[in-house]
Amino acid sequence: MPYTTYLVEKGASHSFVAEAKPPTVTMPRIKALMTGSLPGFVDVVRNLNSPALLEDSVIRQAKTAGKRIIFYGDETWVKLFPKHFAEYDGTTSFFVSDYTEVDNNVTRHLDKVLKRGDWDMLILHYLGLDHIGHISGPNSPLIGHKLSEMDSVLMKIHTSLQSKERETPLPNLLVLCGDHGMSETGSHGASSVEEVNTPLILISSAFERKPGDNRHPKHVQQTDVAATLAIALGLPIPKDSVGSFLFPVVEGRPMREQLRFLHLNTVQLSKLLQENVPSYEKGSHPAPAQHPTGTAQKG
């Protein structure tokens, strides 16, 4: 992926290895990315029919804030967020032997949507790479072609965003990630290193990072993405998010701003603790004064 490599090495980007928790299948992983919360057992059961997501999420916060969201790709998103997209085109992952049409069905919208100025968030979930994994594994000769295709998609989006920035005062954020990895045989669902490690690249002209210090990307959690996106978009962090926003991303910002972001994340996390850990409240207050001679009585 020469263009992506160029962006990673040029410096206006931050790269991470984001660890996905098992089960490494699409539905719970999209939930983790958008809610920042850890899936329970019930999600595995629900993956079969993917009902609408009830938990707080970046998508819900964005929609509430009046952002217009457009989605193209894996139809799991449309099932999870049935009323959230201003426009969408879902692609079924049922025909796992197809790795061309599933992606053309996403890319065919690109030229048009990138020219428009009526959206705030564009989400694309390509399926082809995953399908090639299932057909012939991660070392398949088909992988190289697919990555090259994805690289030109990224170039198209990045070039378009850059030219748009000349007209608007605010910088854009481009996020490239995977929902899960794939094993040596091209499958996924379990917890091998190859299945849980996913690439996470954030690209924005807002970043001030010296080129060349990204050789060893930091390992982070997939659940850190939700808080990071919320802060980037100026939205409240989803209520149940257990993630920490990715601090390197704001390291170039003024100290006051950095502290404000940390404060927002800390307040959200301590609220989550208060609501879910009964012993947390007790520990956070000083112990009541003991009467020197009295005996404790239970009312």
Residues forming contacts to Zn ion in the complex (CB under 5 A) are: 130
Residue type at position 226: A
Q: Quick one: 75 or 240, whose CB is closer to Zn ion?
A: 75
Residues in the chain: 299
Q: What's the closest the beta carbon of residue 185 comes to Zn ion, in angstroms?
A: 12
Q: What's the closest the beta carbon of residue 60 comes to Zn ion, in angstroms?
A: 26
Residues in a beta bridge with 200: 16, 177
Q: Quick one: 126 or 261, whose CB is closer to Zn ion?
A: 126
User: What is the separation of C-alpha 6 from the centre of its chain, rounded to a whole number of angstroms?
Assistant: 22
Rounded-to-integer distance, Cα 226 and Cα 55, Å: 13
Q: Quick one: 186 or 238, whose CB is closer to Zn ion?
A: 186
Q: What's the closest the beta carbon of residue 188 comes to Zn ion, in angstroms?
A: 6
Reading across the β-sheet that carries 197-203, which strands appear in turn? 174-177, 197-203, 13-19, 218-221
Q: What's the closest the beta carbon of residue 101 comes to Zn ion, in angstroms?
A: 16
Q: Quick one: 75 or 130, whose CB is closer to Zn ion?
A: 130
Q: Quick one: 109 or 125, whose CB is closer to Zn ion?
A: 125
DSSP H helical ranges for the chain? 2-10, 26-35, 41-46, 58-64, 76-80, 101-107, 110-115, 128-136, 141-164, 193-196, 224-233, 255-276, 278-284
Rounded-to-integer distance, Cα 141 and Cα 139, Å: 6
Residue closest to Zn ion, measured at CB: 130
Give the DSSP letter of residue 248.
G
Rounded-to-integer distance, Cα 258 and Cα 267, Å: 14
Q: Quick one: 130 or 240, whose CB is closer to Zn ion?
A: 130
Q: What's the closest the beta carbon of residue 18 comes to Zn ion, in angstroms?
A: 17
Q: What's the closest the beta carbon of residue 79 comes to Zn ion, in angstroms?
A: 16
